[in-house]
């Protein structure tokens, strides 16, 4: 039986974070009472006309440059005609044959090392409204339409069929998301639908050159859905082929509940988009100076940043990758390092306690009360021996909730580390006297007993004792 390999291409839709919609001046704000973020243009009222938002073009170029694309000199809009009740004009203004950007790529990490994934094109288009179903789409007698989202700007990023597993597909989406977040043109929230994904997938016997017939899976609203649906579809296609069947080229949707992909009805498949140049919009000639200005304003991108952290800060590859995963985290890290030149120590704290508490409380960095200056002060207190690493965690937790400076907390709670030999000796002696068993164990060669004794001293001092000093004092007396 032949072994099969999977070929996947992704179409990722990203909502741009402009203030207004792509062709009218209605707000793009998420949420809002139904049908309040609308105007005659985005409602598709008879007689209305689109005018392109300059910021949308700028953001599209910005994203495209970050994805190593070529920016077209001449680009235009087209109408893609099909009927759907969430589309106010029953055509979507999109870009057909002359997209704003082509020929890009990004790199993902695979077990075999880095892999370049081609980006065949990136284009601008308008989003549709939203359908609200009472119950499920199949059982509800009515659907309700909210056009607040209609006309929100999207970029569609189409990958080459370079992805060979569901895992690679997920990695690609995560990487794409990271890069777009860095450019600041979208907040890429899959759960709010500001990043959405359709997948084209086919299988072929290993070693065959030609692509197999593909299916398209729509409405993949999470990485989990992407991974699961691609696994399901791979298996389904292989099963069909192994049973001697043929793959039907069709659009399928992912049913999260059933855990399977299902074909759309055939009459909905009868699509012929009849694209035509949008007569209501004039072409765009993209000025090269504009492109260079946008290029110049791009921040350092995650890949470059990661390399720099490894090279300049001698960070392990893993730490560098995680620190650069979001721009906010990397910016935070760098602000700390600028004030305190021990990148490894800063990194450990950020990847440790800092991230743990952020995740625990579900807080974004922007909303975190610990400023880089305060974190650095905390690290300095450890360096100076004012507090122990253990106490530092307690102090940090307090900083995290109250936003107070480390020094203030240490002072208020009397957490200053006890490094005074004279103050410590009586405590140590009391512990030794109170734990004769452990002392005997240690003397019998059980090294672990020392740890227990240190712990008892720390407990007796509420963690304020300087651990090095405690060790030293215990050893002197044992």
Contact call for residue 100 and another protein (CB under 8 A): no
* 101-110/130-133 β-pairing: unpaired
Task: Give the residue from 67, 68, 54, 50 showing the smallest Cα distance to 14.
Answer: 67
Q: Which sign does the torsion angle of CA 300, 306, 307, 309 carry?
A: positive
Closest distance of CB 249 from another protein, Å: 15
Binding to another protein by residue 455, rule CB under 8 A?
no
Stretch that binds another protein, among 24-32, 179-187, 190-198, 407-415 (CB under 8 A): 24-32
Number of other CB atoms surrounding residue 268 within 10 Å = 12
CB of 78 to another protein, least distance (A): 10
Piece of the chain touching another protein by CB under 8 A; list 14-22, 308-316, 452-460, 470-478? 14-22
43 scored as a contact of another protein (CB under 8 A)? yes
Q: How far is the CB of 328 from another protein (least distance, A)?
A: 23
Select the span of 26-34, 113-121, 226-234, 307-315 touching another protein (CB under 8 A): 26-34
Asked whether position 219 contacts another protein by CB under 8 A, the answer is: no
In contact, 363 and 384? CB cutoff 8 Å:
no
- Least distance in angstroms from the C-beta of 57 to another protein: 7
Q: Does 62 bind another protein (CB under 8 A)?
A: no
Sole binder of another protein in the list 33, 97, 191, 476 (CB under 8 A)? 33
Cα separations in angstroms, 377 against 292, 323, 340, 364, 410: 40, 20, 9, 22, 11
For 353, which DSSP code? Answer: I
Site string for another protein, 402-441 (x = CB under 8 A): ----------------------------------------
d(CA 325, CA 329): 7
Question: Using CB under 8 A, which of the segments 82-90, 172-180, 390-398, 457-465 binds another protein?
Answer: 82-90
CB of 414 to another protein, least distance (A): 53
For the CB of residue 230, give the shortest distance to another protein in the complex, in Å: 24
- Interface residue with another protein among 47, 207, 209, 389 (CB under 8 A) is 47
Asked if residues 393 and 362 have their Cβ atoms less than 8 Å apart, the reply is no
Asked if 261 interacts with another protein (CB under 8 A), we say no
Q: Is there a contact between 347 and 355 (Cβ–Cβ < 8 Å)?
A: no
Q: Contact between 141 and another protein (CB under 8 A)?
A: yes
Contact 303, 327 (CB under 8 A): no
- Closest to 56 measured CA to CA, from 10, 24, 88, 92: 24
Q: Is 250 in the site for another protein (CB under 8 A)?
A: no
Contact between 137 and another protein by CB under 8 A: the answer reads yes
- Rounded to the nearest whole angstrom, what is the least distance from the CB of residue 139 to another protein in the complex? 8
Binding of residue 208 to another protein (CB under 8 A): no
d(C-alpha 303, C-alpha 148), whole Å: 36
**3-state SS class at 100:** coil
Is residue 213 near another protein by the rule CB under 8 A?
A: no
With H, G, I as helix, E, B as strand and everything else as coil, classify residue 113.
Answer: strand
Tokens of 431: 């512990």
Residue 248 binds to another protein (criterion: CB under 8 A): no
Residues 267-286 that bind another protein (CB under 8 A): 267-268, 270, 272, 274-277, 279-285
CB-nearer residue toward another protein: 192 or 268: 268
Q: What are phi and psi of 271, to 5 degrees?
A: -100, 135
- Is residue 411 within 8 Å of residue 385, measured between CB atoms? no
Instruction: Report the sign of the C-alpha dihedral through residues 366, 333, 305, 358, in that order.
Output: negative
Verify binding: residue 288, another protein, rule CB under 8 A.
no
Tell me: does residue 57 bind another protein (CB under 8 A): yes
Radius of gyration of the chain (CA): 29
Q: Where would I find the H helices in 353-435?
A: 355-361, 372-383, 389-402, 406-413, 421-434
Instruction: Please choose, out of 125-133, 235-243, 437-445, 446-454, the segment that lies near another protein by the rule CB under 8 A.
Output: 125-133
Which residues make up the interface to another protein (CB under 8 A)? 18-20, 24-27, 33-40, 43-57, 76, 79, 81, 83, 85, 88-91, 131-133, 137-138, 140-147, 265, 267-268, 270, 272, 274-277, 279-285
């Amino acid at each position: 039986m032949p072994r099969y390999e999977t070929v996947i291409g992704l179409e990722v839709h990203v909502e741009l974070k402009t203030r207004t919609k792509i062709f009218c001046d209605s707000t793009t704000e998420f949420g809002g009472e139904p049908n309040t973020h609308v105007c005659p243009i985005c409602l598709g009222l008879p007689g209305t006309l689109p005018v392109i938002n300059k910021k949308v073009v700028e953001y599209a170029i910005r994203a495209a440059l970050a994805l190593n694309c070529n920016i077209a000199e001449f680009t235009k809009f087209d109408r893609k005609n099909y009927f759907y009740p969430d589309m106010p004009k029953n055509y979507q203004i999109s870009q057909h044959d002359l997209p704003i950007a082509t020929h890009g790529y990004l790199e993902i990490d695979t077990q075999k090392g880095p892999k370049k994934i081609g980006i065949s094109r990136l284009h601008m288009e308008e989003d549709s409204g939203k359908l609200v179903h009472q119950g499920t789409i199949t059982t509800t007698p009515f659907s309700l339409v909210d056009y607040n989202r209609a006309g929100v700007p999207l970029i569609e990023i189409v990958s080459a069929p370079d992805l060979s597993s569901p895992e690679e597909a997920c990695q690609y989406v995560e990487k794409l998301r990271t890069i777009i977040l860095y450019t600041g043109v979208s907040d890429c929230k899959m759960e709010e639908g500001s990043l959405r994904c359709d997948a084209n997938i086919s299988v072929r016997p290993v070693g065959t050159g030609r692509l197999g017939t593909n299916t398209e899976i729509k409405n993949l609203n999470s990485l989990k859905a992407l991974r699961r649906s691609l696994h399901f579809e791979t298996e389904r296609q292989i099963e069909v082929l192994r049973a001697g069947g043929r793959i039907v080229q069709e659009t399928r949707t992912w049913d999260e509940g059933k855990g399977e992909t299902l074909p759309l009805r055939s009459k909905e498949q009868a699509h012929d988009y009849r694209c035509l140049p949008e007569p209501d919009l004039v072409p765009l000639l993209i000025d090269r100076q504009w492109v260079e200005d946008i290029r110049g304003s791009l921040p350092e991108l995650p890949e470059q940043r990661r390399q720099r952290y490894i090279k300049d800060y001698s960070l392990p590859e893993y730490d560098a990758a995680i620190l650069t995963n979001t721009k906010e985290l990397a910016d935070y890290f760098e602000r700390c390092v600028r004030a305190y030149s021990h990148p490894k120590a800063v990194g450990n704290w950020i990847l440790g306690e800092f991230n743990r508490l952020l995740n625990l409380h579900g807080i974004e960095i922007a909303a975190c009360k610990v400023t880089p200056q305060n974190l650095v002060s905390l690290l300095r207190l450890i360096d100076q021996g004012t507090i122990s690493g253990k106490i530092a965690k307690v102090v940090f937790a307090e900083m995290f909730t109250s936003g107070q400076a480390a020094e203030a907390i240490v002072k208020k709670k009397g957490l200053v580390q006890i490094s005074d030999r004279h103050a410590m000796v009586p405590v140590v002696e009391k512990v030794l006297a109170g734990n004769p068993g452990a002392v005997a164990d240690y003397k019998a060669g059980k090294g672990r007993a020392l740890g227990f004794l240190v712990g008892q001293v720390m407990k007796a001092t509420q963690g304020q004792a300087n651990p090095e000093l405690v060790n030293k004092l215990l050893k002197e007396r044992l």
